[in-house]
Structure 1
Amino acid sequence: MNKNFSFVILTFNEEIHLPRLLESIKNLNAKTYILDSGSTDKTLEIGTAYGAEVLQNPFENHPKQWDHALKNFQIATPWTIGLDADQIVTPELFRMLANFNNDEYRDINGIYFNRKNFFQGKWIRFGTFYPFYLLKMFRTGVGFSDLNENMDHRFIVPGKTEIWKKGWLLEENLKENDIAFWKSKHERYSDLVAREELERMQKLRVQRVTPNLLGSPDEKRAWLKRLWWKLPLGFRPYLYFSYRMFFKLGIFEGATGIKFHYLQGFWFRQLVDKKIKILQKQADKI
């Protein structure tokens, strides 16, 4: 059994995704933990067949689900790797993990993987989506889930981090090939994001990550989010979509990529802003 790291995976009806992820990591011989939020398909059966330890917990949001996983699994390895079920460890990342030696990372508490995001079979290369570094590997008991986020989840570690620029993690949600599924999913997400932003306006939430445009990938994103929250509602989706399409070259993505940028960078953001305005009106009546 791998003595350096363990995997933790969140699932919900992931029978289409989980086998490919578990196949991509099985030869690393690492202990695998799955926290499921009530799957009704073969997800649990698949996880058990691969030797994973499985627990269940009702889903509220991703940050709280990750927090529950990290606090309730008895992870014995010095490092933890948190993955989503629709992700795959590439051969390049596999080799880096296979050669990982804890003794060489004594002064490091977290490692960023470079994600390649796919939509309907298309690698989304432009429009801010590549390179995209995610803190996915961290010292057990040191890294934790950021509960100040309501939808986007991130792990936080104090101290030094390192970026693996060529250790790619592929992410492709095959269920999102159905646009109706994509829209339904993001309708739910928009409720979470709108509520979160209103609570930030009310000073009920604060950023745990220090905003720094020149800092770590998460510090940079925190800086950009802080800027985003200052922009006028209703106007900012137009500004953001234009930024992704022209300044970040999303226009060269092709038809599928442009559709993704429109849905994720404009339609979804506009929906969030509309729901924030509704929540503000409701709050004013109280």
Structure 2
Amino acid sequence: MADITVIILTYNEEKHIERCIRSLKPFAKRVVLVDSLSTDRTVEIADSLGAEVLQNRWPGNHAIQFQWGLDNAHLTTEWVMKLDADEYVLPELAEEISQKLPALDNDIGGIYMKRRVFFMGKWIKYGGYYPTWLLRIWRNGKGRMEQRWMDEHIKLVEGRTIRFEHDFVDDNLHGLTAWTQKHNHYATREAVDILNILYGFRKYDSVRPNLFGTQEERKRWLKMKYASMPLFLRPALYFTMRYFLKAGFLDGRPGLVWHTLQGGWYRFLVDAKIYEIYHKAGRDKEKILDLLAKEYDINLKEG
């Protein structure tokens, strides 16, 4: 058993939460759910599996909710791990965590792990989507959640990082209708995040963009370049790169659906939402801020 607490955000995750918690049993000392007042059996299932449950009304932002969990879980373990409810740890990774974590040098502050995405029962291996390296384990007190509207990561404040060999899995079981509804919501947050890059509404204490840094630093740099490209051209180029240049077509028919929706439709929807905001507010910073506050209940004004 490793000296680690796993924190999971939940809202109506009865379809996923048992699979998630059971994958943590071989190595986690504590499993803590930060639940946004679920109305299904999420809390009941978690209780039955020995997880602890903290409840906090959804604040409208993933980063704020996760940081609330970090601040209120009374963490005493040496290590902390972040996992989503629709994710689970493979047995090989669970064993690796159990064996390697206690022996790590004191100057190691964080651990990157590979995420496998499954979609319609298919492991999405191509299109630049695997491996995706994410910092998901860090020493207690050495990491904080970026306070962004989208694409938030854990920012390590001290120590060096290493990589573990084995994978965890992202496999959402809710189906295509729920997926598109969720990504419609994500598209609004992504649009706000891109507008923030362009207009500098609010400064983030975030991962440093760096073309030659870690994968997440490189992706942050590329996102800033992406944000400067023309509306509607960039999603077309992005889909072309993923599906053709990075061989997304090798993922078969599920991959066709995945790369078209996640790499094409979703990115186009983000631009459509930005276009709508420009149509209503023009490109004036203050008018955009006022529109976001009035119509989207998103206040990005400093102070």
User: TM-score, structure 1 length as denominator?
Assistant: 0.94
Q: Contact 2:78–2:139 (CA<8 Å) still a contact in 1? A: yes
Q: Secondary structure at the match of 1:4?
A: strand
In structure 2, the residue corresponding to 1:31 is in which secondary structure?
strand
1:3-14 pair list within 5 angstroms? 4-14=3-13
Q: Distance in 2 between matches of 1:21 and 1:101?
A: 20
Q: Distance in 2 between matches of 1:97 and 1:261?
A: 32
Q: Encode CA deviations 1:24-77: one digit per residue, 9 max, x unaligned.
A: 111225111100112111000011111111111222121111111111110101
Aligned to 2:33: 34
Helix, strand or coil: the match of 1:40? coil
1:16 aligns with 2:41: no
C-alpha contact 1:15 1:41 (8 A) present in aligned 2 = yes
- Alignment check: 8 A CA contact 1:198 1:280 kept: no
Aligned equivalents of 1:146, 1:244: Cα separation in 2: 27
Pair 1:279–1:48, CA change in 2 (3 A): same
Match of 2:253? 255
Pick the aligned partner of 1:240 from 238, 251, 254.
Answer: 238
- Indicate the SS of the match to 1:100: helix
Closer/same/farther in 2, CA of residues 146 and 251 from structure 1, 3 Å limit: same
TM-score, normalised to structure 2's length? 0.89
Q: How far apart, in 2, do the equivalents of 1:209 and 1:122 lie?
A: 31
Give the secondary structure class of the aligned counterpart of 2:149: coil
Paired residue type of 2:188: D
Could you tell me how far apart the structure 2 residues matched to 1:13 and 1:163 are? 32
TM-superposed CA distance for 1:278, in Å, is: 1.3
Corresponding residue SS for 1:112: strand
- Contact conserved, 1:16 with 1:174, CA < 8 A, in 2? yes
Give secondary structure in 2 for the equivalent of 1:114: strand
Number of aligned positions between the proteins = 281
CA deviation digits over 1:159-214, x for unaligned, max 9? 311112x2200110000x2x221111111111111122223222124462221222
Partner of 2:56: 57
Q: Which runs of 5+ in 2 are unaligned?
A: 288-303
Task: State the distance in 2 between where 1:216 and 1:67 align.
Answer: 23
Superposition map of 1:113-128 within 5 A: 113-128=113-128
Q: 1:101 and 1:196, CA in 2 relative to 1: closer, same or farther beyond 3 A?
A: closer
Matches of residues 1-286 of structure 1 in structure 2 within 5 Å? 2=1, 4-59=3-58, 60-147=60-147, 149-158=148-157, 159-164=159-164, 166-175=165-174, 177=175, 179-206=176-203, 208-284=206-282, 286=287
CA contact (8 A) 2:30 2:51 kept: yes
Q: Distance in 1 between matches of 2:101 and 2:266?
A: 42
CA distance in structure 2 between the partners assigned to 1:205 and 1:30 by the alignment:
38
CA 1:140/1:246 → structure 2, altered by over 3 Å: closer, same or farther? Answer: same
Q: Deviations over 1:129-178 (max 9, x none)?
A: 1011111001111111000x2122311103311112x2200110000x2x
Q: Tell me by how many angstroms 1:103 deviates.
A: 4.4
Structure 1: state its 5+ residue gaps: none
Identity within the alignment, %: 38
User: In structure 2, how many angstroms separate the alpha carbons of the residues matched to 1:280 and 1:126?
Assistant: 35
Q: How far apart, in 2, do the equivalents of 1:105 and 1:168 lie?
A: 22
For 2:138 and 2:248, the matched residues in 1 are separated by 32
- Kept after mapping to 2: 8 A contact 1:200/1:206: no
Provide runs of 4+ in structure 1 moved above 3 Å. none
SS at match of 2:260: helix
State the alpha-carbon separation in 1 of the partners of residues 18 and 252 from structure 2: 30
Q: 1:89-129, CA deviations, whole angstroms, 9 ceiling, x for partnerless residues?
A: 10110111111344423111110111110011010000111
Q: Give distance in 1, aligned partners of 2:54 and 2:21.
A: 17
